[in-house]
Every structure is written in C-alpha cells, then in structure tokens.
Amino acid sequence: MSPEEWTYLVVLLISIPIGFLFKKAGPGLKRWGAAAVGLGLTLFTCGPHTLHSLITILGTWALIQAQPCSCHALALAWTFSYLLFFRALSLLGLPTPTPFTNAVQLLLTLKLVSLASEVQDLHLAQRKEMASGFSKGPSLGLLPDVPSLMETLSYSYCYVGIMTGPFFRYRTYLDWLEQPFPGAVPSLRPLLRRAWPAPLFGLLFLLSSHLFPLEAVREDAFYARPLPARLFYMIPVFFAFRMRFYVAWIAAECGCIAAGFGAYPVAAKARAGGGPTLQCPPPSSPEKAASLEYDYETIRNIDCYGTDFCVRVRDGMRYWNMTVQWWLAQYIYKSAPARSYVLRSAWTMLLSAYWHGLHPGYYLSFLTIPLCLSAEGWLESALRGRLSPGGQKAWDWVHWFLKMRAYDYMCMGFVLLSLGDTLRYWASVYFCVHIVAVAALLLGLALGGGSPGRRKTSPQAASLAPEKLREE
C-alpha cells in the first residue's frame, strides 16, 4: 500500500468512532462539529490547496444567490470548469495539488451541483405555489429554505464522505442534523453486519496486488509472455481493483452508520444517493422511533455481490459506486442532449471520465461502455427470449462471463491511465472486447433485436447470486 492509501485508510477508520460521538449530539454540535472535523482533515491532508475547495464553494454560493431559478446548470458549468483549471495547474506553472485535494474536489463538485439543483427545485416550487394561490404541504425531498453561506460551508466540509464518498444530498444532511430521537436509530449492529467482509477483502487485495503487480504491465518483458498469460493478467488486476474499493467504500459506509447518517425507516424506500422515495412521517416519541425498522440505503455505495454476480454490463454499473451513479443518472443522463439510451449513456460516460480526470485511459475505458451496452442489449433482445429455460440459464452464465471480461478489459485503461500503456495492452490482446462487442452488435442487428433503451429487463437475468448469499 502506498502512503496515500494508508492515509485514506486512517481517515476512514477514525471516522467511525467520531461518528458514534456525533450520533446523539444536537443539531448545532452536529453541524459545526462535523464541519470542523472535515475542515481539519482537509487542511491536514491538503494544506494550502484547501483554497481550491473554498473558491469552488464561494463561486457556487454566489451563483445560487444571483440566479436561484437557473443555478443548477450554472453550478454544473462552474464546478466542471474549475475542475479543468484545477487539473491544468502544473501546465500553468502553479503548485500541483495533492491527491487528497483531488479527492475532496471530486466529491465537493457532486455536492455543490446537487445543492444548486435542490435550491432551484425549491424556487420553482415556490413560484408554482404563488401562481396557484394556495400553500401545499411539505414535498418529499424539498428544502425548507435556501442555505446560508455558513450552512453551505458546513455541508461542504462535513467530514462524512469528504474524501471517499458516499455522496449525499443537502436534504440528507439536513435530515441527519434534525433526526428525531437519534438514540433510537440502530448503529452498532448494522455497522458490524456491514463491516464483516472488509478484512477479508483487504487481505485479498494485498495478496492479489502482490502476486500480480500492475507495474509489470508497463514492462517490455510482459509482452514477451504468451497470449493466454496476457489475457489472464487483466483478471487479477481488476480483482485487486475491486477489493481495494470494496474495503474503502465499506469503511466509508461504516463511518456513516456509526453517526446514524443516512438512516431512514424501511417504509421510506430510500435509494442510494437520492434518499427516501416515499413520505414517511417522523416518529412522535422515542418508543415509536425505536419500534421502526431502519436501513442505510441512502448512503450505500457498493453492492459487492451484485457487482460480481450480476449478469449485464448495464446492471454492473448500478451496483458500483452507487451514490455517484445516482448523481450521474439524475443530473447528467436525464439532461443529456440526446434521446437514445446508448447516446445518453455515451454522454454520461464522457462526463464521468472528465470528472475522474484528464488521463486518456479514463476516456478509452468509459467510452467502451456504451458499445458494450448496445451490443448486449441488441443481442439479448434478439436471442434470449427464443431459448428454453435451460438455454436462458446457460445464456446468462455466458453473458456473466463476458460481462466480467469486459470490465477486466476496461479496468486496464482505468488503472494504466496513459494512452500509450492502455493501447499497448489492448493491442497485445488484439482489442478482443471491442471486436466481440462489435460482432455481437452486428449479429443482434442482423437478427432484428430491439434497442437497448426499449428492452424490458428480465428479472431472471438480474443476478446469478442467490439472495441468501448477499451480505446485506
């Protein structure tokens, strides 16, 4: 593990006891205490580069104050433009930010764009209310008022997920501050239930990254190996990649659970990133609060078994970095300048690559996803429904195998980063995933398959993992 990875791990682990300290605190102590801890961590890891996050916050807040009815698009343009400046600092002869500064900036970008959208929704609702002449009750997920500058700063620097996620909306943050009877919200048992696989994943990460180091792929000797060895190598590389993020995101979720952050009654049917989808009245007494069943779906960032055992590329995206996937679907996919599912997905993947960074490997990997989505959609709609139940099961196993190999292949671009290293590796395996995807797409078109966006999802193919095997 690198020094940066050790720092991330320490930050994640100390957030768990800190969460227990804040859980039963009042709204004021939660707000300013959590912000003080987050700002302290930011200053400690980022130093003077903390100024970048402050400039981004102040710029977004100014846009919200100036144009509350159209601030979402303005905030998106401002924060994404600042990301470009932020990543071009070395080219401009300015000090290069630390990796921790980049992590803070990434999560902050998501939070500020979401905040601007929530404020815009509030103003549009208020205008409709004024036009209709009568007041409606509180709407699900709507803010009570526009946050002040200090409230925006406290949300932005809240220590929860400040470097690793999960992403959460300002409404989720407010619900945590104003949580009725927080002592009745379970933390320890859900935390232990969520945390138990993390040590195993950590050991598997250390073992796989030691036996199959990524640096070997950058050496000339690697390309003297036979083709089967080169093809196989991407499997343990992606395995180590998954194990690393499983540990980080599970630990991040545990920090939230310790604080009772993102806890809602099961009846609210909360979604990762978005929060409750059904109105659920707050309990009126500690006894009623204790009688409710709670979950932490709002801050759930990874479904490990879903990621590994789902059949489709499309489903694999939903189980990975789930709160960020909700953000991309809500703020990028829905407003994409196209109606086609594949083109909307391509637009979303392009902006996702840009959000991650400027390395060519990100773009090569992310822009391969729309091709895979199109190929699996057309071919599955053309063939799977014609098979017997046994044939469909065999189809799903083959589909799952190809899905995992596609993600292995795309992961190489994500971790190698450079154009030369990525294309060198992909060329050494003869661009096999691209070729298979194009062949599957052409076959699906020839057989009269339907568009991926119009295809109905078959529940039998959602996952190969029995429900009882899921750790949740």
* 54 or 341: which leads in pLDDT: 54
Q: Name the least confident of 44-53, 279-288, 315-324.
A: 279-288
Q: Round the average pLDDT of the chain to a whole number and report it.
A: 91
402 CB-near residues (< 8 Å, 6+ apart): 436
- Over residues 354-374, the pLDDT tens digits come to 999 999 999 999 999 999 999
- Please, what is the end-to-end C-alpha distance for the chain in angstroms? 28
- Whole-model pTM: value is 0.93
- Asked if residues 121 and 69 have their Cβ atoms less than 8 Å apart, the reply is no
Q: What is the pLDDT of residue 93?
A: 84
- Asked if residues 268 and 276 have their Cβ atoms less than 8 Å apart, the reply is yes
Residue 158: how many CB atoms within 10 A of its CB?
25
Task: Grade residue 459 by pLDDT with cuts at 50, 70 and 90.
Answer: very low
- Asked if residues 310 and 463 have their Cβ atoms less than 8 Å apart, the reply is yes
Residue 269: how many CB atoms within 10 A of its CB?
14
Please say if the pLDDT value at position 2 is more than 90. no
The full DSSP string for 75-129 is: HHHHHHHHHHHHHTTTTTTPPPPPHHHHHHHHHHHHHHHHHHHHHHHHHHHHHHH
Among candidate residues 361, 367, 360, 366, the one with its CA nearest the CA of residue 415: 361
Distance CA(438)–CA(435), nearest Å, equals 5
Please say if the pLDDT value at position 454 is more than 80. no
Q: What is the pLDDT of residue 389?
A: 92
Displacement of CA 299 from its chain's centroid (Å): 10
Task: Grade residue 467 by pLDDT with cuts at 50, 70 and 90.
Answer: very low
Q: What is the pLDDT of residue 463?
A: 61
Q: Name the least confident of 72-76, 422-426, 460-464.
A: 460-464
